[in-house]
Chain A
Amino acid sequence: GAGVSQTPSNKVTEKGKYVELRCDPISGHTALYWYRQSLGQGPEFLIYFQGTGAADDSGLPNDRFFAVRPEGSVSTLKIQRTERGDSAVYLCASSLVGPAKNIQYFGAGTRLSVL
């Protein structure tokens, strides 16, 4: 497909469990972003990858959250010891990077529910 793909679309887990959320960006997009959107709010930045490296992880709320992008394409957001407050929609976006400004294209998101 041509767009950003996120799996799973829904994830229900129990408090204390570990979850992984996957993002497959648009082919050729070197920049990849994770955001978190709580109900009734705008998306909040979590982490930004340029290629394989995390260029900015200042939005990760604590050390239970971690993300990787080992080959510069697919990224996985990992959450350890999930808490009820982690329930939200996790959005991934990708873009080209260059002198001209480029739009971030968003995936449909993963709705995480921690019971």
Chain B
Amino acid sequence: ELKVEQNPLFLSMQEGKNYTIYCNYSTTSDRLYWYRQDPGKSLESLFVLLSNGAVKQEGRLMASLDTKARLSTLHITAAVHDLSATYFCAVDIYFGNEKLTFGTGTRLTIIP
């Protein structure tokens, strides 16, 4: 059974600081997704990582994938308040049936 774990589960950080969220998964896959969820809202796609060594950046967020280690990271640079949200990673392993298995989420709070 595929398991996806994130850490930390909760993260409170000051504006301007850098931090990294980690996502580990238990079964071989080369497809990993990062989503953002604001309170009471649905999920917004941030990144799709499709191969070992893939790195994608958007603004202050950068995601990377190491399929050998079964690890993805989401790095936040110089955090600002509007990045406060819950971040989920998700993995799918079946080509042709891309059901996603989500991590538990990291609740990120940026303090002014």
Residues of A within 8 A of B (CB): 31, 33, 35, 40-45, 48, 50, 55-56, 59, 91, 95, 97, 101-109
Interface residues of B (CB under 8 A from A): 4, 31, 33, 35, 41-45, 48, 50, 88, 90, 96-105
Whether B104 and A91, one on each chain, are in contact in the complex, defined by CB atoms closer than 8 angstroms, is no
Count how many pairs of residues, one from A and one from B, have CB atoms less than 8 Å apart in the complex: 56
Nearest Cβ on chain A to B104's Cβ, whole angstroms: 6
Chain A proximity of B47: nearest CB distance (Å): 10
Contact flag A43-B48 (CB < 8 Å), given A106-B42, A108-B41: no
B residues in contact with A40, CB < 8 Å: 105
For residue B33, which residues in chain A have a CB less than 8 angstroms away from its CB?
A: 103-104
Known: A91-B43, A109-B42. A45 touches B99 (CB 8 A): yes
Question: Inside 8 A of B41's CB, which chain A residues have their CB?
Answer: 108
- Distance between B31 CB and nearest chain A CB, rounded to angstroms: 6
B105 x A41 contact (CB < 8 A): yes
Which residues of chain B are near A41, meaning CB under 8 Å? Answer: 104-105
Q: How far is the CB of A110 from chain B (nearest CB, A)?
A: 11
Max count, chain A CB within 10 A of own CB: residue among B88, B90, B100, B104: B100
Could you tell me the distance in whole angstroms from the C-beta of B82 to the nearest C-beta in chain A?
Answer: 20
In the bound complex, CA of A109 to CA of B4 (Å): 23
Shortest beta-carbon distance from A109 to chain B in Å:
6
- List, in ascending order, chain A residues with CB within 8 A of B96's CB: 97
Say yes or no: A104 contacts B100, CB within 8 Å: yes
**A44 near B98 (CB under 8 angstroms)?**
no
Instruction: Give the CA-CA distance A107 to B42 in the complex, in Å.
Output: 6
